[in-house]
Structure 1
């Protein structure tokens, strides 16, 4: 059974449904390239020290296939490479859009962490302040004090909150239902603490759901508007937004997302994401996420010393995450980044600390909520293989 919790980038594997119901399995039901696959669009500029253009071109060749219907890749740093392949809609076979919007999933957490750290730099949030202090009554007396920093680095001890399905298959019948952030947190609190805060790192959405509520309480504003005025507008992220309430649609140009459900390829593009909130509700583009990645690493989004929180691992066994970012090593390179997945869409942002190599991709994966290994090996590894 495919679990909804994403494994780590590179480490574990870097809405109205169709009126006619699930699609019959198309010609690319096996991994072989489809004869009708749209041609790739590729641009490259660089030297022999730049990205491996041959490997990257091979990664997107033959789309759509059994594992993905489209892919949008942007590699930068010392040399650049851009690639688009696949189809916008498998019914029509129209070529995938290079500027397509998509659900970025847990990449949202990078935006949330940046907002919280900005508020900390302004003196409006103390990272050592507690949930009990900022959101009185949210937690019961069963909980020891949980700091903002512990929410940021996933060491809060909160249990996962409620969901409308632990797999894409389970969630699909409920894709237009609403589960509010407050309901998600209430279900977590009702289960009591999982462990003493600060003693263990367990990645999960619940930490960032609470952080989104904290942002709204401290600013007296909606989380979505704070993201727009603090992150999107200053960085020129004109195609990034959050859904309005329970709106299940991706507005603007986008490629359709699909998932295998019961042996059928099903359109899962339209989906109410209210339960993901500040943990996974972002809609964006690869160009916008590249702006976020570069701006963040260059210190244009979060000032020092707060920026160091994003690149600092907590002192607990096996820690991999700082505030919003995860640390990896590949081919001797230290890489910091974030994965994101929602049904039909798998996303990655990643870079070396000096920005000598950056990667942003959105893959319309037909198993986006799987473990991510195949997608990472195919699309992420080539970006850092030299």
Structure 2
């Protein structure tokens, strides 16, 4: 197969993760919130601390502090050892930690955590920037830029189908850790794809391909493009891509609640894209069960009469995290939990409770059009 396009990489990565990849799904708050590549245990505080809460003038009782305290109470437990929540927006601000999460939520010493598949939002943002510059199109085939990587028998897959998880690529049951190219080739070595654009199926391989597209089109490494286009311009000083995390453009980032909040605000306000590409962020393909937009944002109606929010979840290195916001940024929520992997049902219930509590009390009249 032709692979001369791999020569555009300008930096090398060490893939030291050993062992079989675990692709996991977390069903939270009634929707499929999928995390990727739990690669091993995380180094976390050894002992539990008393729950900690701070707040700054919530507007008109919009933030339900009692519900948040209830959602965080009782940690650590067998499935979740600790948790952190950060809420901001026009409703005011509130932060809380519980259990073994003892690091500060904000400030220069805020706790860093592996964000897993939240990384996809950064990768999608890079791709949309290249679309805005005319170097890519959401409607053009991926194979035109990455010849020989996917089998010749595969139907053309568009860039927009990658970002919205409607590519039809088969589940990565044969995936093996390695370089991005090795990951893709291993993932498509077994199974059969469906016709692109006909079904919605969450698949992390889409974003390995998206990262490789960034490299091929820009002529620079994914890491360099991420740094120069997003991290430095936005001042995200605590967001980084560890060299030894093979999840890479699909799920490898480490960040903080403050950095994720800032990124989400700029992304959804259109600060990274032209109007057409910002519109793509909120355009979900008209395909049954589609949840992800042409820019990679997940559309999620909060159960119980809550608002429609946009964002992403992720799981990596023992953290299950997420960032969600109403479209008008009336409320932005970042959370992370220290999970054990021992009881997925209890973990799901705990995360579901945190997400529900974080948006409880939100009223559209506070953020008109949100």
Deviation (angstroms), 1:368: 9.0
Residue correspondence of structure 1 range 288-303 to structure 2 within 5 A = 288-303=259-274
- Compared CA separation, residues 159 and 378, structure 1 to 2 (3 A): same
2:59 maps to which of 21, 34, 47: 47
Residue correspondence of structure 1 range 352-371 to structure 2 within 5 A = 352-367=326-341, 370=344
Q: Is the 8 A contact 1:143 1:192 kept in 2?
A: no
Q: Is the 8 A contact 1:344 1:368 kept in 2?
A: no
1:325 maps to which of 287, 294, 297: 297
- Compared CA separation, residues 366 and 18, structure 1 to 2 (3 A): closer
SS in 1 for 2:77: coil
Query: What's 2:30 paired with?
Result: 11
Q: RMSD across aligned C-alpha pairs, in angstroms?
A: 2.4
Deviation (angstroms), 1:375: 2.9
Query: What's 2:205 paired with?
Result: 206
Distance 2:193 2:266 in 1: 36
Query: What's 2:9 paired with?
Result: none
Q: Is the 8 A contact 1:10 1:328 kept in 2?
A: no
Residue correspondence of structure 1 range 271-286 to structure 2 within 5 A = 273-274=245-246, 276-286=247-257
Residue correspondence of structure 1 range 1-386 to structure 2 within 5 A = 4-7=23-26, 9-12=28-31, 37-44=48-55, 45-77=57-89, 78-87=91-100, 95-98=102-105, 99-161=110-172, 162-163=174-175, 178-191=177-190, 193-244=192-243, 246=244, 273-274=245-246, 276-322=247-293, 323-330=295-302, 331-367=305-341, 370=344, 373-386=348-361
TM-score in terms of structure 1 length? 0.77
Q: Is the 8 A contact 1:68 1:363 kept in 2?
A: yes
SS in 2 for 1:118: helix
Query: What's 1:258 paired with?
Result: none
Distance 1:381 1:18 in 2: 26
Deviation (angstroms), 1:16: 8.8
SS in 1 for 2:82: strand
After superposing on structure 2, the runs of 4+ consecutive aligned residues of structure 1 that deviate more than 4 Å are 13-19
- Compared CA separation, residues 13 and 146, structure 1 to 2 (3 A): closer
- Compared CA separation, residues 368 and 157, structure 1 to 2 (3 A): farther
- Compared CA separation, residues 59 and 132, structure 1 to 2 (3 A): same
Any idea what the Cα deviations from partners look like across 1:53-81, whole Å, max 9, x if unmatched? 11112222343222322212101121111
Deviation (angstroms), 1:12: 3.3
Query: What's 1:263 paired with?
Result: none
SS in 2 for 1:106: helix
SS in 2 for 1:207: helix
Distance 1:121 1:71 in 2: 38
TM-score in terms of structure 2 length? 0.81
Distance 1:385 1:17 in 2: 32
Q: Is the 8 A contact 1:50 1:80 kept in 2?
A: no
Query: What's 1:267 paired with?
Result: none
Distance 2:274 2:240 in 1: 23
Distance 2:238 2:336 in 1: 14
